[in-house]
Structure 1
Amino acid sequence: MKNLFLLLVVFSLVACAPKVGSDAWCKSMAEKPKGDWTANEAKDYAKHCVFK
């Protein structure tokens, strides 16, 4: 029962994440400390938010 609950929580959190490249995602990334970004996030931010 616990595993099912945890699985539902994980899926609900993933569903709430903004789509990469969307305005909401760009704003979220701009507020996130740059040291916490992954290499893929930095690449996507540059591609979708800086060099549109």
Structure 2
Amino acid sequence: MKKFIALVSVFAAVLLVGCAPEVGSDKWCENMKNKEKGDWTANEVRDFAKHCVFK
């Protein structure tokens, strides 16, 4: 049963990641603008500056 739950969890994670917009796309930039600034990671800050501010 534990293996089944683990498999379902991995499958769900793959589906959720597959739905995320590509970093640097217009949709990704819009999502980042709406996200709380305190929740941004260092990589997200760098990517936002690179792709959304300094195109």
Please, what TM-score do these two structures have when normalized by structure 2? 0.90
Shift of residue 4 of structure 1? Answer: 1.1
Indicate whether 1:29 and 2:32 are aligned: yes
Indicate whether 1:46 and 2:49 are aligned: yes
Indicate whether 1:10 and 2:48 are aligned: no
What is the count of residue pairs matched by the alignment?
52
The residue matched to 1:20 in structure 2 has which SS?
A: coil
Determine what percentage of the aligned residue pairs are the same residue.
58
Read off the aligned partner of 1:9 and give its amino acid letter. Answer: A
Give the Cα separation in 2 of the matches to 1:19 and 1:37.
16
Compare CA radii of gyration and give the structure with the larger one: 2
Please, what TM-score do these two structures have when normalized by structure 1? 0.95
Shift of residue 3 of structure 1? Answer: 1.1
Give the Cα separation in 1 of the matches to 2:10 and 2:42.
27
- The runs of at least 4 consecutive aligned structure 1 residues that moved more than 4 Å come to none
Shift of residue 33 of structure 1? Answer: 0.8
